[in-house]
Amino acid sequence: MKYLLVGLGNPGAEYVHTRHNIGFLALDALAEASGATFAPDRLGDVARCKFKGRQLVLVKPTTFMNLSGKSVRYWLDAEKISTDRLLVTTDDINLPFGTLRIRAKGSDGGHNGLKDIQAVLGSNAYPRLRFGVGADFGPGRQVDHVLGKFSSEEEQALAERLKRTSALMQSFAFIGLQRTMNTFNNT
């Protein structure tokens, strides 16, 4: 079986290691743990690895966040993967830092990457993993927060949270969405 794991973020040096690029960081952690490396490909940087007999295709779209749907659609079609075997990882300001929440479907929650994926796929019925980045910002400062670097406290916790995220993604591919939700949600 083959699974498409997409991490949302923005390409470019100015976005590296920002909260909004947590999807990229999550896939980087999984690739590193699996001995896989990313290479530029059509509409994204792509790595491939295996986990307990499952093939994992890891994609970091190079289309910028608000055009992520184009990359997701391309890789679903190119790899002949159904949306139930797609997992999109993104940041979420509505969850405390490091909180993980996986769902089978849902609203875009105001997230431009999810909004574009939903528009391109014509559905909100695809699994998504939200990684909490917190809402520690004042009025009108949301963009600065999500495009900002992690605080020193967040940095200290980040490696462990990314390791947990990698385990969640592997679980999704191996034991399925429902059991993964029961094991990992809000941890």
Give the full edge-to-edge strand order of the sheet including 39-41. 39-41, 44-51, 54-61, 2-7, 86-92, 128-132, 100-103
Q: How confident is the model at residue 17 (pLDDT cuts 50, 70, 90)?
A: very high
Catalytic residues: 20
Task: Calculate mean pLDDT across residues 145-168.
Answer: 96
Task: Calculate mean pLDDT across residues 68-79.
Answer: 98
Q: Report the amino acid identity of residue 148.
A: G
Instruction: Tell me the pTM.
Output: 0.96
The pLDDT, as a whole number, for residue 136 is: 87
Distance CA 100, CA 15 (A): 22
Q: What phi, psi does 91 have (nearest 5°)?
A: -80, 155
Structural domains in the chain, CATH included, are 2-184 (3.40.50.1470)
